[in-house]
């Protein structure tokens, strides 16, 4: 006999399985890392070196993307710098450099921004990556959300390395 409740649960289960399959993580060694950063992130050259060492990766494997407000006085790390002004009034990105960054495929995204505004969220979601790591938040945008104090880069790096080793993404 047809049971509506079981049919609905079966449909919901199938949808959850499909979502899980669409969201699957490929477990292979991390070779390319995208780093999202902003002036409040506390990411500086020394902290970046610490992250690279914790993940056992070289600096050439990292691409840095910094989002800042137009008037922020921030000593950027090497890499791409963006602000709201890179968008046209129709929401299109005007910078070929940023489009190139967003077109690359990365194995890992490290988001140190804390997602403080819509633009940071947009850029975080636009990075093509296999695995996303960021601070604990209500949006649930990451595969791994770390409950560490924002700006504590060394703690963030240590926890990221610990979990990525367990998962098998780094050695």
Over residues 53-93, the pLDDT tens digits come to: 999 999 999 999 998 877 767 666 778 888 878 877 667 77
The pTM of the whole model exceeds 0.95: no
Tokens of 160: 């990221």
Instruction: Decide which of 69 and 17 is more confident.
Output: 69
Q: What's the pLDDT at 1?
A: 41
Measured distance CA(65)–CA(115) in Å, rounded: 14
123 close to 79: Cβ distance less than 8 angstroms = no
Residue with tokens 């390319």: 32
Q: Domain 30-167 belongs to what topology? A: Rossmann fold (3.40.50)
CB of 141 within 8 A of CB of 160?
Answer: no
The percentage of residues in the chain with a pLDDT greater than 70, rounded to a whole number, is: 78
Report yes or no: 98 and 82 within 8 Å, Cβ to Cβ: yes
């Amino acid at each position: 006999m047809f049971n509506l409740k079981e049919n609905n649960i079966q449909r919901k289960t199938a949808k959850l399985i499909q979502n899980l399959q669409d969201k699957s993580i490929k477990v292979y060694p991390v070779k390319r890392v995208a780093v999202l950063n902003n002036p409040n992130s506390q990411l500086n050259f020394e902290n970046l070196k610490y992250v690279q060492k914790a993940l056992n990766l070289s600096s050439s494997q990292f691409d840095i993307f910094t989002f800042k407000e137009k008037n922020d006085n921030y000593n950027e790390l090497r890499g791409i710098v963006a602000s709201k002004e890179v968008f046209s009034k129709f929401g299109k990105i005007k910078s070929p450099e940023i489009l190139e960054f967003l077109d690359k495929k990365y194995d890992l995204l490290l988001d140190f921004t804390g997602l403080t505004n819509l633009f940071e969220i947009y850029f975080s979601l636009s990075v093509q990556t296999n695995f996303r790591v960021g601070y604990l938040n209500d949006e649930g945008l990451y595969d791994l959300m770390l409950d560490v104090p924002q700006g504590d880069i060394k703690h963030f790096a240590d926890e990221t390395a610990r979990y990525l080793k367990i998962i098998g993404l780094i050695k």
